[in-house]
Structures are given as structure tokens and as C-alpha cells.
């Protein structure tokens, strides 16, 4: 309780903006109790289908279903290698998200989580988050698998509770499925559920946002993350805009939506605990996470501070290694020194499967130096 209170207390300090590059598909995060906390991010293949605003490095399941087993084998090989290099270190938190981990079937999900249980120390674990994400990928069987493996924080992300909007942006699920997935999770005992919504989705008005917030409040999540629409170059929506199919996104309306969301979050007993900016975000807005006291996402706080290593596995995974002493940056032409080494796994799924040994070797060169 004391640690959580301290984390919550950080929110009262100075607000800062962060630029974050998200290149995850599905993620699992570990933090260690050591001289400096370590964060591990493991990314996993698959989303049911790409939403038009999304540029995350992930593969639509329909295109890659025939390679899921090969991908899981490569991913678990990388996880095992990271665990071996990190032997004796205890995790503080685990995070699995970025795309839609629950697109995996229950057996695949169980095997992946069993791999983590087998190779990583769970003693003293504070938080284990899984991005259940798309409600159309959630089943009772999969949620039970998560419960069996000790996951204590999940996300069920509608982005909007307006069916017209879900259809427009390519979310192939219904508003009713959001309710069903949320109530199913509650019945199975999940008492820390996050929900994501986006302000500025095409065609939405402040009145639509007001109704979305009303429905979210009826569900009563423990966390609410409010995003302002950011269209990346790789996103379908961004491609359409460059082709001249401009989207009508009015900045003052988005500002109204963001303000409405903040007010509603406070009425729900949720308080801001982290914020960050993304490139290409609409207007001068930030993404803000709200949470009940003692339900703040620990990983979300620590990734913002960039004071611990983030070790990432999977296609498109981005690793950040914090060194004890500065070294000459191998990517610097002027041979400047740095205490932060960045390493990117290849994004192409086929390439990752065939080159996983190379990804492992590159991490081993710098990890825990």
C-alpha cells in the first residue's frame, strides 16, 4: 500500500509532456527490484483486423494465422534467452499488450503465459497487466486463462461507445460486446480494469463523447485512458488524408471532448496519474491516464520516467537499455557518449521468425552492463 500511495502521490507534481513512440503488437512487462528498476516489454503477433487510425507494428491475424505457431516459438525462444541473461532478478511488474494478445486462442495464450511463469521469478510481483483490448477477441475461456496465471490488471478498450464510429474506424465489434466482455471480466474477479477512449475520431461530436462517457461511467472501470487522436503516417487514416480525403477534425471540439472526459473521470472517482504526447497528435493535446487511488498502472508511470531498462521481445519490439556508466554511442557519428542504448527488433514477422537468434545476440551484447 505504501508503494502505491507514493506512486499516486507523484501525480500531484509538475505536469510534463512526453513524446512516445509505440511500436508494440502485444506486450508483457517485467520490473525488477534492484538498484534501478528494470522493465521488460515483450511484444506478440496479432490483431483481429487493423483499425484505420492505428499504425502499431502488428499483423492482422487473417494474414498471418498460418505463422502464429512459428511466431510463438520464436517469441518464447527470445523470452527464454532474456530470462537466462537476467537470471536471479525479480520482476516488479509484467505488461502484455500493444496489440491484442487475446487474439491468440486460449491454448496459445496459456502456453505463452506458462513460458513466462517457468522462466521468470514471480515472487514480489506488484502488477501483471494484459491488454485484452478488442472486446470481440475476449472469451470466458481466455479470461480464465489470465486469472489462472495471476494477471491482476487488464484493459478492455472500446475507443468509442458509438456504433457508427466503431464501424467507420474499422472496429469489427459492437457496443454490446464491450458490455459483455466487461461484465464477464468482473464476474471472474478482475478488480483492476482499464478502458481506452479516443477524442477526435472521425464524425464524432462532443455530444457523442458525452454519451460514450455516460456509458463508460455505467460500467465503472478502475482506470480510464483518454487519447487525443494521433494519425501516424503508417495508419490507413493518415494515408487517406494524404490522398486528399481529409478528415474533419476540429481542434476546439477535441479540446471540449478532452475536458469533458477529465471532468467525468473525476466524477467517477478517477484521478490523473500520467500523461504523454504522441507525434501527429491532433492539436496541442496529451493522452491522460486516470485511475482510482491504488489502481494506477505502475508500468505506465515507470515507462514515462525512462529511468529503467525496457527489454522488448517480438517483431517490431523496441528495447531501451540504461547503462551504469556512459559509453560512446555506437550510432553517433560525432562519438557522443550516452547512458541509453536503443535496439529495435525487425518489424516484418517473417524476418523476425528467421532472425530471432540475431535479436537475442544483440540484446546480450548490452543487457545488464
> What's the pLDDT at 46?
47
Tell me the three-class secondary structure of 280-314, residue by residue.
Answer: CECCCCCEEEEECCCCCCHHHHHHHHCCCCEEEEC
> What's the pLDDT at 234?
37
| pLDDT tens sequence across 150-170 | 999 999 999 999 999 999 988
Global pTM reads 0.81
Residues 6+ apart with CB under 8 A from 347: 23, 57, 315, 316
Crossing angle between the packed helical segments 349-366 and 68-85, to the nearest 10 degrees: 0
Instruction: Provide the b/e sequence for 321-348 (b: ≥16 CB within 10 Å).
Output: bbeeeeeebeeeeeeeeeeebebebbee
> What's the pLDDT at 175?
97
Task: Characterize the bridge pairing of strands 39-42 and 29-31.
Answer: antiparallel
| pLDDT tens sequence across 177-213 | 999 999 999 999 999 999 999 998 988 999 999 999 9
Please identify which residue in the block is written with the cell numbers 525479480: 90
| pLDDT tens sequence across 237-284 | 443 443 443 444 467 888 899 999 999 999 999 999 988 776 655 556
Find out if CATH 3.20.20 is the number for domain 2-363: yes
Q: What is the mean pLDDT of residues 300-311?
A: 79
> What's the pLDDT at 42?
57
Contact 216, 162 (CB under 8 A): no
Distance between CA atoms of 190 and 289, rounded to whole angstroms? Answer: 19
> What's the pLDDT at 284?
63
Please identify which residue in the block is written with the cell numbers 520482476: 91
> What's the pLDDT at 106?
96
| pLDDT tens sequence across 21-77 | 222 344 455 554 444 444 455 555 544 444 444 444 444 555 667 888 999 999 999
> What's the pLDDT at 19?
23
Query: In which band, very low, low, confident or very high, does the pLDDT at 311 lie, cut at 50, 70 and 90?
Result: confident
Identify the sign of the CA torsion 150, 298, 314, 348.
positive
Of all residues in the chain, the percent with pLDDT exceeding 90 is: 42
- Choice among 53-67, 86-100, 222-236, 299-313 with the minimum mean pLDDT: 53-67
Amino acid at each position: 500500500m505504501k508503494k502505491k500511495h507514493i506512486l499516486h502521490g507523484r501525480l500531484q507534481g509538475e505536469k510534463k509532456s512526453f513524446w512516445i513512440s509505440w511500436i508494440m503488437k502485444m506486450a508483457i512487462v517485467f520490473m525488477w527490484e534492484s538498484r534501478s528498476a528494470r522493465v521488460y516489454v515483450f511484444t506478440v503477433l496479432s490483431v483481429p483486423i487493423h483499425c484505420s487510425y492505428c499504425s502499431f507494428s502488428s499483423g492482422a491475424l487473417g494474414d498471418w494465422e498460418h505463422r502464429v505457431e512459428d511466431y510463438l516459438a520464436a517469441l518464447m525462444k527470445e523470452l527464454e534467452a532474456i530470462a537466462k541473461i537476467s537470471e536471479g532478478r525479480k520482476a516488479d511488474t509484467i505488461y502484455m499488450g500493444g496489440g491484442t494478445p487475446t487474439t491468440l486462442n486460449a491454448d496459445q495464450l496459456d502456453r505463452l503465459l506458462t513460458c513466462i511463469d517457468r522462466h521468470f521469478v514471480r515472487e514480489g510481483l506488484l502488477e501483471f497487466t494484459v491488454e485484452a483490448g478488442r472486446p470481440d477477441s475476449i472469451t470466458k475461456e481466455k479470461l480464465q486463462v489470465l486469472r489462472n496465471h495471476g494477471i491482476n490488471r487488464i484493459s478492455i478498450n472500446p475507443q468509442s461507445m458509438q456504433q457508427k464510429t466503431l464501424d467507420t474506424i474499422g472496429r469489427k465489434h459492437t457496443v454490446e460486446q464491450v458490455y459483455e466482455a466487461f461484465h464477464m471480466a468482473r464476474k471472474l474477479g478482475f478488480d483492476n480494469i482499464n478502458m481506452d477512449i479516443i477524442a477526435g475520431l472521425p464524425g464524432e461530436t462532443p455530444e457523442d463523447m458525452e454519451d460514450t462517457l455516460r456509458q463508460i461511467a455505467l460500467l465503472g472501470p478502475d482506470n480510464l485512458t483518454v487519447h487525443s487522436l494521433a494519425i501516424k503516417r503508417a495508419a490507413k487514416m493518415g494515408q487517406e488524408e494524404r490522398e486528399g480525403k481529409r478528415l474533419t477534425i476540429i481542434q476546439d471540439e477535441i479540446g471540449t471532448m478532452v475536458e469533458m472526459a477529465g471532468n467525468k473521470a473525476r466524477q467517477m472517482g478517477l484521478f490523473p496519474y500520467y500523461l504523454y504526447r504522441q507525434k501527429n497528435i491532433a492539436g496541442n493535446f496529451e493522452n491522460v491516464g486516470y485511475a482510482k487511488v491504488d489502481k494506477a498502472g505502475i508500468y505506465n508511470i515507470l515507462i514515462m520516467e525512462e529511468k529503467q531498462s525496457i527489454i522488448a521481445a517480438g517483431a517490431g519490439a523496441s528495447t531501451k537499455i540504461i547503462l551504469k556508466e556512459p559509453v560512446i554511442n555506437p550510432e553517433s557519428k560525432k562519438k557522443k557518449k550516452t547512458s541509453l542504448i536503443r535496439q529495435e527488433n525487425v518489424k516484418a514477422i517473417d524476418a523476425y521468425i528467421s532472425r530471432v537468434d540475431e535479436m537475442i545476440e544483440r540484446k546480450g551484447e548490452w543487457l545488464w552492463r
